[in-house]
Amino acid sequence: MTGSRLEEFSDMEFDVLKEISNIGAGNATTAISTMMNLKVDMHVPVIKFLEFKELAEVIGGAENVVVGILLALQSDIDGMMMFVMEKKAAESIVSNILPGADGGEPTGDRDFTEMELSVLQELGNIIAGSYLSAISSLTNMCITSSVPYLSVDMAGAILSVPAIEYGKVSDKALLIQSEFGDKALTVDGYFILIPTLDAFEKIFNSLGLNL
């Protein structure tokens, strides 16, 4: 790695991260499409480094209610990973997977039932797991994750958790935005990978990028 800070990633390193997220998003989309029994299209994920202030703006403002699913990473890589989606999108997904459980249109302001929360947790688990297996098969590293933790709250509050972790090494965070869905239902998912700086280095090293 060229520098000790995230801002100093080279184009080459960025491309590697992009490729990893592309593969991860592909895996995740396949998993979701199977789970929801839908034909799901996906777009090329957008990857960017954002200032903390901008992070919440991308996800609809600091007070926008979102669903955040967080997993702690262990073994070869230490860190956290987080999947964030808007509450409305989460409502569409649960009503798709659990038809008739509630039936209402997604309004963005109802509470989730235990069952629905569990579905969302599992969804986060699958998505995060897909990204993880992409990284681990590319790099030949063993990465295990904790059970998923879920929280429904203001975007600013949810994002403060990864922001604080990033805050130790940088003023910016790495955001991977992926969009998936079919014609009737589009879900914007935001994926935030929060490895420690050492972990980034390990990923690059294992791919032969000894910069």
Partner 1 sequence: MGNMIKVGMADMNTCAGADAITTLGLGSCIGVVIYDPVKKVCGMVHVMLPDSSIIRNNDNPAKFADTGIKCLIDSVCKMGTTKSALLAKMAGGAQMFAFNTDNDMLKVGLRNAEACRTVLAKNNIKLVSEDCGDRFGRTIEFYPATCELYVKAIGKPLKII
The residue among 98, 162, 101, 172 whose CA lies nearest residue 128 is 162
Q: Which of 169, 185, 207, 209 binds partner 1 (CB under 8 A)?
A: 169
Provide the minimum distance between the beta carbon of 30 and partner 1 in the complex, in angstroms, as a whole number.
27
Binding-site size, partner 1 (CB under 8 A): 36
Q: Is 165 in the site for partner 1 (CB under 8 A)?
A: yes
The mark string for 172-211 relative to partner 1 (x by CB under 8 A, - otherwise) is ----------------------------------------
Structure tokens at 159: 């994002």
Q: Which of 76, 102, 122, 171 binds partner 1 (CB under 8 A)?
A: 171
Structure tokens at 20: 């990893």
Q: Which of 156, 181, 189, 195 binds partner 1 (CB under 8 A)?
A: 156
Provide the minimum distance between the beta carbon of 206 and partner 1 in the complex, in angstroms, as a whole number.
24
Q: What is the largest CA-CA distance in the chain?
A: 54
The rounded distance, in Å, linking the Cα atoms of 183 and 38 is 10
Find residue 181's DSSP bridge partners. 41, 186
Contacts to partner 1 from residues 14-73, by CB under 8 A: 52-53, 55-56, 61-63, 65, 68, 70, 72
Nearer to partner 1, 2 or 34 (CB): 2
Q: Which of 21, 95, 145, 170 binds partner 1 (CB under 8 A)?
A: 170
Provide the minimum distance between the beta carbon of 51 and partner 1 in the complex, in angstroms, as a whole number.
9
Provide the minimum distance between the beta carbon of 10 and partner 1 in the complex, in angstroms, as a whole number.
19
The rounded distance, in Å, linking the Cα atoms of 146 and 169 is 23
Q: Which of 149, 201, 206, 207 binds partner 1 (CB under 8 A)?
A: 149
The rounded distance, in Å, linking the Cα atoms of 152 and 165 is 20
| Cα separation values, 105 from 34, 102, 108, 141, Å | 23, 9, 9, 43
How many C-alpha atoms does 78 have within 13 Å on its Cβ side?
5
3-state secondary structure 93-161: HHHHHCCCCCCCCCCCCCCCCHHHHHHHHHHHHHHHHHHHHHHHHHHCCCEEECCCEEEEEEHHHHHHH
Contacts to partner 1 from residues 74-113, by CB under 8 A: 111
Enumerate binding residues for partner 1 (CB under 8 A): 4-5, 52-53, 55-56, 61-63, 65, 68, 70, 72, 111, 146, 149-161, 163-165, 167-171
